[in-house]
Structure 1
């Protein structure tokens, strides 16, 4: 399949992410930018909660089930709005619709039309840029990331589609011995994309990730920035252009790991922060308690069920916002403009926020034994990487570096906005601790939530760097526009082209602003992002020596579909990628993930399968698990690791195995020493 052939499915995938949440958003009164920014997070929330409820009730997962949930919730919201007499209210009265028809003498179009076109451009530009870069990275819609975690991710999507069970409470390790909690929101959404489009799981993964990176993320960024600075066309355009300029997100998350659940959760994070900012009133656009609670309920469940660590990041980034709010209200209280009772409620809220946040932080920290990532640099190097938007050794972005430094300088002169610097400092501090601090309790306390893995914290940095960079860019552009406007240039141009001077005084700076925004956007696409793309692309190519699946191994999956019954289980060493037979063909496998708990019979198959017919107990395990076929993908393992396996080390000479098909070093065997499939044990 080519990208052109996949285009209709891509539009369906966009609909899968946006339409359910948009329906629910309209039911609660959302409109404009708020509606579309909240739409995808709301869809994720409804889908992931519906999956849990369906698991409890024993209802099969499907697109229709999610649709029914959305309709039921939308009707309930409409009834509640009617009951409390708020059917005529709007949560966001300053959204981009409806378009005003006021005409300015300096403009050839109504002001509202110009502003609306700016907002559309702010959405379209990053969507096109990020989509193109994702496509170039992935190469072909059916390609997969040749990485460790992808064995689980792809097989988990297949598990959802095959079993109809999509609950985060049971997705676990996909084996009978180890079912348990795993945040399944990303897998739920990709399964919906696959079911709605009819595409293969690899194609659905590619399309879903493009929607997350190119649609959900820019809209979320624009929503957050609009809560901070307002709906200025300049800031919204700058946000859109810069949202695709960070190598660390969204691009790093489709390369490292791969951390697809983090991709989804971090794409939602700016919306959650925007809700907090507007509720506490520290930005320009504010919202009341009731509206904020509604938005929080729409967004937070999806964020937490995409990846809980990002919910912890929200608490960390929100702490400076809460402290700034308390400080501001305290000043008002001392001036007598805030009542004592209200101040007591403010202190109570802040105390609960910090206390609950600390408890959640401690609960979310992982055991040190699984937090194996070592520091890789000095503290000063880590700080430099953050300032240059070049974490984890990425190539520096000079444009983002300049805008970040300028933004920090501007914010330092605005005490009411220092909480933005606080958010940035939290992100910087966590990254420095993970990447540059030695092993110990201090490091594990602060970054154990993220496995002490600097890559995960690097991906969070654009969320807190973007506001700083946008504010720096806006300040620079407005100063340049003011210089042009107050100079003699507009008058000279007006005289030369016989145009009213008032129009030139408006259109010349406006044209310069637009050109400056485009220049900033183009500059942000240089250096860091192209290098990240070029480094990630080889990991999505099928070659003779691919880390996870080679060209020959992929061909063997075709043989599996031809020779292996649909209800059969296939053995494969998961370290070699053989376990992806489940994701690609639907045939179950002994070990659907590289790690995980195994039953005694599974352990026998994973160590002694080639001894079928000779070693007591092997055939019993074969019959009881219905494992009459086996894949041998050699000894090459993902990540150039080496875990010696004895299960198929003598496959070629084993009398109990019979070769069914081969391609290069990859082979499919039938286990003939144990009778035939379906035979009683």
Structure 2
């Protein structure tokens, strides 16, 4: 199988995603499941920090410098652990350990089947609008040796120089590609394989680990963690949907890190006392508080540099848990209740300001897609945005809601689910623009993005429902048997998790390939967005022409294109400066004129001036656009100026493959060019 042949890519991915973060996890006192679940968060935070520092310090981003930078941060974390005597985090957890591993394996296998079936070959690329930028950005990072989120967008779009674009995904992807490059191969293939290896690792390993640990922390039960591991594969909306839609690689990474980030803050906070003890010189408590601050900071850095909107979900969940913890402290009349209350109150305006700021920076671009009743049904059924419903998870979630509402210390899970489900409902069904902009503006009012957050709380609740059923069965049976028998609880637990695994296996076996329903056009996908055939957005002939651009045009040449017809893939596939190199068409006056009037370059001075302003030498003709393109949110932009050059003065055919053509601009307002 082609995926097994890419073991080197997965080894490189494991080195990047887990090794630095395991040091970070050890530094804050985490071990076993906690350490492995938090490791990706720590790794992404360290990589992002190094990339940002390198960007401001103008240090080149390459494999040796990145390794040195990450090692320096790791050393600082080790010193912090030793100097502050950070102790191991040892929360009391019931049940044996082995079911957790079994549940994680089942979940990982089920997710792997779904993801690899959809992608196909590991060298395939997602032929979706956002993928043009994401794959091109990885190439630009490697070629320009710059990875900072404060300069990433400008590498592909001159109009975005100096802007911020979250680059955590691209930074990690570039490191994996650089490691693979040590063993040969082409850059285009290495980027594609590295991207798919990273996506599969996050979907099948990072996500199940994080959701299982969050469940264990919230419920105190390993049986619940095992059930969460299995059910991590139960909802299509995450992780599969975000690999179909967009493709939203950065947000996909961010959401996958939210559960472990929440769990780290909660687990470490439970062993931390009042801040007063740190101020008076208690090193043990100082170490505990430092560990909480580091966990919160690393989670914020990692998620914020992956996709800032997911950061709001992380902060909201932590705040809800803090509210619940503060209520408990008041009931216990604990000495630290005043500090906790102050922290909760201070956090409110900060969270509101962050929420409003992110919402104000983005327009509410997506319209509601369903009625209120339909939206509510899809949310409670787990069939978000028309994905296949998961009633088996949904029913267990409602059982879990009853269980956590009856249990002190876990009610924040119910509040978290209600909060995330409400946001998804607003994006999907509420028409009031003010409400949409205020509440879900940071997510572009996009139902796909909001729906992907709900499993973060839905799966732990469903797992809590499983353990509640286990305990109920044990209680009923124990009336007729030895009440002290541990074997009974183990037997019921094994039976429950086995049933979940069998349901998951049956569901995946019945429908291994799940195609996305496109709510914008109200049509289902007809094939995977990774498919390569005549129906693909980027036709095989067009790809062949783009891949050899670097051997046809001179170094430094600029090639104009209509991005909606596939020409924007030119930079990723060849390294040639195509304009634009992302799906969105530029809005500058020169490009706007040329997409309509480029044919007149030989006779019209204004058109000639526009060509010179963009320093354009060539133009790709992949058709006029205006036809429905697979994988895109709408029809490709019609640009008559970038097609039909046969017999037109001022153009020379340089290369072609099928109907795909490359033309050189030979005349500009009556003057020869070149």
Q: Deviations over 1:630-667 (max 9, x none)?
A: 22111244444142213323322223222233233222
1:208 matched to which residue of 2? 198
User: Would you say 1:163 and 2:144 are equivalent positions?
Assistant: yes
Aligned positions of 1:315-334 closer than 5 A = 315-333=315-333
Residues 424 and 451, structure 2, Cα contact 8 Å, conserved in 1: yes
1:125 matched to which residue of 2? 106
**Aligned pair in 2 of structure 1 residues 583, 221: CA closer, same or farther (>3 Å)?**
same
1:311 matched to which residue of 2? 311
Residues 270 and 463, structure 1, Cα contact 8 Å, conserved in 2: yes
Q: C-alpha displacement at 1:606, in angstroms?
A: 4.2
1:290 matched to which residue of 2? 290
Question: Matched residues in 1 for 2:112 and 2:616: separation?
Answer: 41
1:573 matched to which residue of 2? 562
1:584 matched to which residue of 2? 573
3-state SS of paired residue (2:605): coil
1:135 matched to which residue of 2? 116
The partner residue of 2:441 within 448, 466, 479 is 448
Residues 251 and 533, structure 1, Cα contact 8 Å, conserved in 2: no
The partner residue of 1:515 within 490, 495, 501 is 495
Residues 548 and 574, structure 2, Cα contact 8 Å, conserved in 1: no
Q: C-alpha displacement at 1:355, in angstroms?
A: 1.4
Residues 254 and 306, structure 2, Cα contact 8 Å, conserved in 1: yes
The partner residue of 1:153 within 134, 144, 147 is 134
User: Would you say 1:52 and 2:52 are equivalent positions?
Assistant: yes
**Aligned pair in 2 of structure 1 residues 530, 90: CA closer, same or farther (>3 Å)?**
farther
The partner residue of 1:178 within 154, 160, 168 is 160
Aligned positions of 1:500-649 closer than 5 A = 507=487, 510-524=490-504, 533-536=513-516, 538-547=528-537, 549-595=538-584, 602-603=591-592, 605-616=594-605, 627-634=616-623, 635=625, 636=627, 637=629, 638-649=632-643
Q: Deviations over 1:67-116 (max 9, x none)?
A: 112211222233333434x1xx53323599xxxxxxxxxxxxxx9xx945
Q: C-alpha displacement at 1:531, in angstroms?
A: 5.9
1:90 matched to which residue of 2? 87
Question: Matched residues in 2 for 1:532 and 1:364: separation?
Answer: 37
Residues 541 and 660, structure 2, Cα contact 8 Å, conserved in 1: yes
Q: C-alpha displacement at 1:597, in angstroms?
A: 5.1
User: Would you say 1:277 and 2:266 are equivalent positions?
Assistant: yes
Question: Matched residues in 2 for 1:670 and 1:2: separation?
Answer: 39
2:386 matched to which residue of 1? 393
Q: Deviations over 1:343-394 (max 9, x none)?
A: 33222111111111111111110467x3122222233332222221111122
Segments of structure 2 that go 5 or more residues without pairing to the other structure are 182-188, 273-284, 517-526
Residues 41 and 261, structure 2, Cα contact 8 Å, conserved in 1: no
Question: Matched residues in 2 for 1:385 and 1:598: separation?
Answer: 38
Kindly tell me the number of residue pairs found equivalent between the two proteins: 635
Q: C-alpha displacement at 1:600, in angstroms?
A: 5.5
The partner residue of 1:194 within 177, 181, 191 is 177
User: Would you say 1:660 and 2:654 are equivalent positions?
Assistant: yes
Question: Matched residues in 2 for 1:72 and 1:367: separation?
Answer: 35
Q: C-alpha displacement at 1:566, in angstroms?
A: 4.5
2:210 matched to which residue of 1? 220
Question: Matched residues in 2 for 1:221 and 1:166: separation?
Answer: 29
Residues 178 and 597, structure 1, Cα contact 8 Å, conserved in 2: no
Question: Matched residues in 2 for 1:359 and 1:650: separation?
Answer: 52
Q: Deviations over 1:262-289 (max 9, x none)?
A: 1000000012211332355499xx9942
**Aligned pair in 2 of structure 1 residues 485, 662: CA closer, same or farther (>3 Å)?**
farther
**Aligned pair in 2 of structure 1 residues 217, 71: CA closer, same or farther (>3 Å)?**
same
3-state SS of paired residue (1:538): coil
User: Would you say 1:427 and 2:408 are equivalent positions?
Assistant: no
Q: Deviations over 1:451-500 (max 9, x none)?
A: 11111110000001011100001111333345455557x9xxxxxxxxxx
3-state SS of paired residue (2:661): strand
3-state SS of paired residue (1:168): coil
**Aligned pair in 2 of structure 1 residues 95, 144: CA closer, same or farther (>3 Å)?**
farther
2:355 matched to which residue of 1? 361
User: Would you say 1:257 and 2:246 are equivalent positions?
Assistant: yes
3-state SS of paired residue (1:534): coil
Segments of structure 1 that go 5 or more residues without pairing to the other structure are 97-110, 491-500
Question: Matched residues in 1 for 2:589 and 2:374: separation?
Answer: 49
3-state SS of paired residue (2:60): coil
**Aligned pair in 2 of structure 1 residues 569, 360: CA closer, same or farther (>3 Å)?**
same
Residues 150 and 164, structure 2, Cα contact 8 Å, conserved in 1: yes
Question: Matched residues in 2 for 1:320 and 1:359: separation?
Answer: 17
Q: Deviations over 1:407-466 (max 9, x none)?
A: 112223224432221111101111112212112312321111111111111000000101
Q: Deviations over 1:272-320 (max 9, x none)?
A: 211332355499xx99422211222332201111011011112233333
Residues 437 and 445, structure 2, Cα contact 8 Å, conserved in 1: yes
Question: Matched residues in 2 for 1:456 and 1:43: separation?
Answer: 24
Question: Matched residues in 2 for 1:642 and 1:229: separation?
Answer: 49
Q: C-alpha displacement at 1:546, in angstroms?
A: 1.6
User: Would you say 1:673 and 2:667 are equivalent positions?
Assistant: yes
Q: Deviations over 1:21-58 (max 9, x none)?
A: 22333345432222211211111111112111111111
Residues 309 and 442, structure 2, Cα contact 8 Å, conserved in 1: yes
Q: Which is further off, 34-43 or 606-615?
A: 606-615
Q: Deviations over 1:144-169 (max 9, x none)?
A: 22222222222222221221121111
Residues 40 and 206, structure 2, Cα contact 8 Å, conserved in 1: yes
Question: Matched residues in 1 for 2:78 and 2:405: separation?
Answer: 45
Residues 651 and 663, structure 2, Cα contact 8 Å, conserved in 1: yes
Question: Matched residues in 2 for 1:273 and 1:448: separation?
Answer: 23
3-state SS of paired residue (2:551): helix
For the aligned residue pairs, the C-alpha RMSD in angstroms reads: 3.1
1:103 matched to which residue of 2? none
Question: Matched residues in 1 for 2:320 and 2:441: separation?
Answer: 21
